[in-house]
Copies of this chain bind each other. A is one copy, B any other.
Amino acid sequence: MSSTSAIGWNPKLIDLSNQRTDKPRISGCTMVMDKGLGLTNFRDTLELAGEYIDFIKLGFGTAGLTPETVLKQKIALAKKHQVHLYPGGTFFEVALAQSCLDIYFHTLRELEFEWIEISDGTVDLSPATRIEAIKKAREWGFRVITEIGKKEEGSVTSIPQLLSTYEQDLSAGAFYVIVEGRETGENIGIFNQYGEVNQSYVTQVMKTVGPERIIWEAPQKQQQVWILGILGAQANLGNISPQEILSVESLRRGLRSDTFYCWKEKKSF
């Protein structure tokens, strides 16, 4: 159950797992944002922390700027480590704005991407078009992650809007729904300009949807700590910086001061 088996600490004696489950897992996922790791760095990161990474997103349009040989090796390395690699939603939106969805899907299939993100963070999508894009992606053979929320500064999606889009996207065939937090986690969606979480918003959403199919973009430590405190280690967290993967895993397992209470109180948070 615990991934401490690969580590030189005797799990019978020191418990580092905090009931953390191994990959593949549905909840408790960590989605990392790669906005330009070199190939060696990418491999290095997977060899260090592959057990703790479920998804890597090639941020915004960077997949299109990555030399083909590097991109293909990233795709192969991710598969080898059971990590799902996919291009950011903005790239989808660029293709859409150029009326090139089929060539976009086709190229992604050729490159053997298995997951895809459908979003309308910058362009406007009618519900019908959004549903159609999800279904089309499914027909091309992709597993689909959608994203809810505009990228514009200060933009907030109302709770009813979020909930109805969530239901709609899952019904159309999406597997996960991401709540937009951008790279900064400031002045966007559930975060105010200081990066503080709109706690009642999250709590209210979680009353309806459960933690399994929702990924909270939470780039800042205070955000990760708060969401893990409420949802437990099974929360799905997104937009984690490559430098923060072991830090986030430490938070999940109570191996950092901010979530250490699980050991003090002898219970999992």
Q: Which of B51, B66, B152, B250 contacts A246 (CB 8 A)?
A: B66
A45 contact set on B, CB distance < 8 A: 38
Give the Cβ gap from A33 to chain B, nearest Cβ, in Å. 11
Give the Cβ gap from A119 to chain B, nearest Cβ, in Å. 10
B62–A255 touching, CB < 8 Å: yes
**A22 on interface, CB distance cutoff 8 Å:** no
**A13 on interface, CB distance cutoff 8 Å:** yes
B48–A44 touching, CB < 8 Å: no
A47–B41 touching, CB < 8 Å: no
A10 contact set on B, CB distance < 8 A: 103, 107
A65 contact set on B, CB distance < 8 A: 7, 16, 49, 52, 246, 249-250, 253, 255
A100 contact set on B, CB distance < 8 A: 13-14
Bound CA span A247–B62, Å: 7
**A143 on interface, CB distance cutoff 8 Å:** no
Bound CA span A91–B39, Å: 31
A103–B13 touching, CB < 8 Å: yes
Query: A-side binding surface: helix, strand, loop or mixed?
Result: helix
With contacts A40-B40, A247-B36 known, is A98 near B263, CB below 8 A?
yes
List residues of A (109-137) whose CB comes within 8 Å of B's CBs: 110-111, 121-123
List residues of A (30-46) whose CB comes within 8 Å of B's CBs: 35-41, 43-45
B68–A35 touching, CB < 8 Å: no
Give the Cβ gap from A128 to chain B, nearest Cβ, in Å. 20
**A189 on interface, CB distance cutoff 8 Å:** no
A93 contact set on B, CB distance < 8 A: 260
A210-234 Cβ-contact flags toward B at 8 Å (1 or 0): 0000000000000000000000000
**A179 on interface, CB distance cutoff 8 Å:** no
B48–A36 touching, CB < 8 Å: yes
B110–A8 touching, CB < 8 Å: yes
B62–A7 touching, CB < 8 Å: no
